[in-house]
């Protein structure tokens, strides 16, 4: 309820409330009506502007266009594979508290299969070409050896595992089309994604085929620490969204509003304090490794043995740096008999890398993430030229990238 005191706070009068007389009320009311009217007009114009920002975007039409390229995946662990998995777990000594459970699992597994059947679990995927190749998460197919994909038109097809990357959690499979046709999705460019972009996920949570969820990008280049769900590699860069997904959505496509795949939905972290936070593998991380995955079935990574950080004001003060950008070497790993390439090349704590040059591919470095990604994508055995600043002095070293 609007009171005289609240009006006074909104429209102060010289002398305060005590100086006002009953004759002031009509004039003040007119001001309030004018202000409210102007405010409502601004809201309406803003709403019309927002509606005009997305002309013709129809969620139903979008779903009809993109859903045919998505699949629901079922992974089956056959008996020989199950025995092999449990034997591997039983002989693995760490963590120590798991030893009794792993041994019991190995002993009782032959009794479990007749009683409860083979283990199955599900996920989602997206078809990426007319040959029937599809992408999903590594943890969807991990442990299984028989895979089925149910398409949007209810066809159930056997899928063959081509290869996977456990470190960055993606896998490539190929459908047994047998003369049939599929609708591939178009792969986008995740480097163009910005915070606030509208995104759409299509997956199969709880085995609910091709479910649609709409949200926005909430963050980029996110890293998941141990204990925040499934542990991931430290060099993973996730797209964070506010989408609500569920078990079975893993590996599903994350689309932009143009219908292009910009990521693979990977995990959801939910809690009473944080709400729902969803993470997706950027599609560029997958695209740059697809040729290698198709040819060799696995991914090889480069390694130089240096831990790098962004140059920040705090780091400048701590290490007395003379530059304001680049990838600062915070720690050089050591080895007693086989020192890593960075240590052999003479790189030290406090050196700031500003260039990472491969033959015919120079790369300027302004922060740590591009350097880490470039090293990972370098084939082991390749010579790389590293330009860095040590204090005010510019230096160059050449090293041979090792394999991770």
Question: Domain residues of the chain, as ranges?
Answer: 4-53, 66-175, 189-283, 302-403
Q: What is the DSSP letter of 23?
A: G
Nearest to 201 by CA among 144, 150, 259: 259
Residues 182-187, mean pLDDT to the nearest whole number: 94
Tokens found for residue 195 = 């915070």
User: Which segment of 48-57, 74-83, 137-146 scores lowest on mean pLDDT?
Assistant: 48-57
pLDDT at residue 154 tops 80 = yes
pLDDT of 34 reads: 55
- Band (pLDDT 50/70/90 cuts) for residue 23 is very low
CB 106 within 8 A of CB 49: no
Assigned token pair, 129: 């070409």
Q: Tokens representing 55?
A: 């002309």
> SS3 of 330, please?
strand
Confidence of residue 309 (pLDDT cuts 50, 70, 90): very high
- Is the model's pLDDT at 185 over the cut of 50? yes
Q: What's the pLDDT score for residue 274?
A: 62
Poorest-pLDDT segment among 11-20, 44-53, 236-245, 348-357? 11-20
As a whole number, the mean pLDDT across the chain is: 83
One fold for both 66-175 and 189-283?
A: yes
User: CB 272: neighbour CB atoms within 10 A?
Assistant: 5
**Interatomic CA distance for residues 305 and 141, integer angstroms:** 31
Q: Which residue has the higher pLDDT, 385 or 276?
A: 385
% the chain with pLDDT above 70? 81
Report the greatest alpha carbon distance in the chain.
94
- pLDDT for residue 190: 93
| Mean pLDDT confidence for 398-404 | 89
Residue 22's pLDDT is 40
Lowest average pLDDT, out of 35-39, 158-162, 230-234, 347-351, goes to 230-234
Q: What are phi and psi of 358, to 5 degrees?
A: -100, 165
Give me the catalytic one of 139, 164, 237, 280.
139
Q: Check pLDDT > 70 for residue 75.
A: yes
Residue 222 CA to residue 328 CA, distance in Å, equals 20
Rounded CA gap, 185 and 140, in Å?
20
The confidence score (pLDDT) of residue 166 equals 86
Over 50: is that where the pLDDT of 10 sits? no
**pTM for this one?**
0.77
| Catalytic annotation present for 166 | no
Catalytic, 53? Answer no
- pLDDT class of 40 with cuts at 50, 70, 90: low
Residue 54 has pLDDT above 50, yes or no: no
Check whether 127 has a pLDDT greater than 60: yes
Give me the pLDDT at residue 264, please: 95
Contacts 24+ apart (CB under 8 A), 397-400: 397/345, 397/346, 397/347, 398/345, 399/304, 399/341, 399/342, 399/344, 399/345, 400/341
User: Could you tell me which of 284, 263, 264, 278 has the C-alpha nearest to residue 370?
Assistant: 284
Count CB-CB contacts under 10 A for residue 283: 28
pLDDT band at 351 (very low <50, low <70, confident <90, very high): very high
* More confident call, 193 vs 57: 193
Whether 67 and 202 have beta carbons less than 8 Å apart is answered as yes
Nearest to 356 by CA among 397, 404, 305, 321: 397
In the residue annotation, 169 being an active-site residue is answered as yes
Given a cut of 90, whether residue 96 has pLDDT beyond it is: no
pLDDT at 4: 41
pLDDT surpassing 50 at residue 8: no
Q: Which fold has domain 189-283?
A: Thrombin, subunit H (2.40.10)
Whether 401 shows a pLDDT value over 90: the answer reads yes
What is the CATH T-level fold of the domain 66-175, as seen in this structure? Thrombin, subunit H (2.40.10)
Rg (CA), the chain: 28
Active-site position among 165, 169, 237, 351: 169
Rounded to the nearest 10 degrees, how much is the dihedral formed by the CA atoms of 46, 50, 52, 57?
-160
53-65 mean pLDDT? 76
pLDDT, average across residues 87-102 = 88
pLDDT at 27 over 70: no
CATH number, domain 302-403, options 2.50.20.10, 2.30.42.10, 2.40.30.110, 3.30.450.20: 2.30.42.10
E-only strand ranges, 292-382: 302-303, 306-310, 327-332, 352-357
Catalytic residue among 124, 164, 190, 250: 250
How large is the average pLDDT for residues 145-162? 94
């Amino acid at each position: 309820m609007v009171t005289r005191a609240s009006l006074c706070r909104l429209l102060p009068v010289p002398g305060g409330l005590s100086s006002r007389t009953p004759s002031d009320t009509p004039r003040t009311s007119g001001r309030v009506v004018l202000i409210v009217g102007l405010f409502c007009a601004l809201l309406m114009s803003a709403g019309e502007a927002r509606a005009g920002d997305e002309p013709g975007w129809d969620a139903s039409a979008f779903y009809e266009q993109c859903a045919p390229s998505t699949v629901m995946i079922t992974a089956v662990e056959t008996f020989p594979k199950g025995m092999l998995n449990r034997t591997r777990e039983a002989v693995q000594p760490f963590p120590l508290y798991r030893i009794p459970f792993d041994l019991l699992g190995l002993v009782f597994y032959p009794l479990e299969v007749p009683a409860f059947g083979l283990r199955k679990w599900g996920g989602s995927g997206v078809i990426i070409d007319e040959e029937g190749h599809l992408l999903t998460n590594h943890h969807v197919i991990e442990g299984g050896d028989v895979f089925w994909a149910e398409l949007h038109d209810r066809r159930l097809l056997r899928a063959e595992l081509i290869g996977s990357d456990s470190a960055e959690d993606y896998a490539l499979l190929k459908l047994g089309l047998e003369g049939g046709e599929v609708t591939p999705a178009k792969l986008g460019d995740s480097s163009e994604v910005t915070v606030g972009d509208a995104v759409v996920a299509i997956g199969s949570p709880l085995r609910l085929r091709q479910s649609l969820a709409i949200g926005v990008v909430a963050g980029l280049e996110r890293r998941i620490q141990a204990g925040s769900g499934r542990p991931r590699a430290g060099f993973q860069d996730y797209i964070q969204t506010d989408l609500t997904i569920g078990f079975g959505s893993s590996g599903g496509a994350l689309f932009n509003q143009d219908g292009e795949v910009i990521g693979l939905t990977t995990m959801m972290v939910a809690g009473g304090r944080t709400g729902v936070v969803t993470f997706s593998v950027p599609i560029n991380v997958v695209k740059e490794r697809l040729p290698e995955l198709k040819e060799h079935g696995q991914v090889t990574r480069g390694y130089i043995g240096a831990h790098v950080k962004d140059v920040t004001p705090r780091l400048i003060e701590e290490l007395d740096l003379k530059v304001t950008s680049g990838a600062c070497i915070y720690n050089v790993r050591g080895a007693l008999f086989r020192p890593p390439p960075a240590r052999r090349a003479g790189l030290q704590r406090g050196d700031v890398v500003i260039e990472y040059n491969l033959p015919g591919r120079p790369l300027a470095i302004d922060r740590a993430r591009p350097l880490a990604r470039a090293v990972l994508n370098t084939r082991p055995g390749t010579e790389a030229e590293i330009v860095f600043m040590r204090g005010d002095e510019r230096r160059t070293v050449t090293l041979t990238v090792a394999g991770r």
